[in-house]
Structure 1
Amino acid sequence: MRRILDVIYTCGAGLAAVFILGICLLVAAQVFMNLVDRLLILSGFDAVGLSIPSYADFTGFFLAASSFLALAYTMRAGGHIRVTLMLHQLSPKWRHVFEVASLLTGGVLTIYFAFYTGRLVWDSFIYEDLSAGIISVPLWIPQFSMLLGLIILSISFIDDIVCVLSGEKPSYHGKGEEALLEKEAPTTMYEGE
Structure 2
Amino acid sequence: MRDPAEMEEAPVASSPVDRLAAAIAGAGGLVSSVLILVVLVITGAGVWMRYVMGRPLVGVEEATGFFVVAIVMFGAAEASRRDDHIRIDMILDKASPALRRWLDVWAQLSVLIFSIALLATAWHTVSFSRRFGAYSAGYLELPMWIPQSTMIVGGVLIALVCLARLFTLLRGGRA
- Taking structure 1 as the reference length, the TM-score comes to 0.78
Specify the alignment match of 1:127 in structure 2. Answer: 132
What corresponds to 2:48 in structure 1? Answer: 32
Query: 44, 49, 63: which is aligned to 1:58?
Result: 63
How much is the aligned-residue C-alpha RMSD, in angstroms? 1.3
Report what 2:10 is aligned to.
none
Alignment of 1:1-193 (within 5 A): 1=16, 2-37=18-53, 49-170=54-175
Q: How far apart in 2 are the matches of 1:115 and 1:87?
A: 31
1:64-107 superposed Cα distances (whole Å, 9 cap, x missing partner): 00011100100111111122221121122222221111111111
Taking a change above 3 Å as real, the CA distance of residues 157 and 23 of structure 1, as seen in their structure-2 partners, is same
SS at 2:134 equivalent: coil
Identity of aligned residues (%): 26
AA partner of residue 74 (structure 1): A
Alpha-carbon separation, structure 1, partners of 2:55 and 2:75? 33
Structure-2 separation of matches of 1:24 and 1:36: 17
Q: Which residue of 2 aligns with 1:183?
A: none
Q: Distance in 1 between matches of 2:20 and 2:100?
A: 29
Based on CA coordinates, which of the two structures has the bigger radius of gyration?
A: 1
Divergent runs of 4+, >6 A:
none
Contact 2:22 2:161 (8 Å CA) reproduced: no
Q: Is the 8 A contact 1:69 1:150 kept in 2?
A: no
Report the AA paired with residue 34 of structure 1.
R
Whether the 8 Å CA contact 2:22–2:81 is kept in 1: the answer is no
**Does the CA contact (< 8 Å) of 2:130 and 2:145 recur in 1?**
yes
Q: Which deviates the most, 80-89 or 62-71? A: 80-89
Q: Which runs of 5+ in 1 are unaligned?
A: 38-48, 171-193
Cα distance in 1 between the residues matched to 2:29 and 2:66: 16
CA distance, structure 2, for counterparts of residue 29 and residue 144 of structure 1: 26
TM-score (norm 2): 0.86
Give secondary structure in 2 for the equivalent of 1:131. coil
Number of residue equivalences: 159
Aligned partner letter, 1:15: V
Provide, for residues 99-138 of structure 1, a one-character-per-residue CA deviation record: whole Å limited to 9, x for no partner: 1111111111111111111111111111111000012000
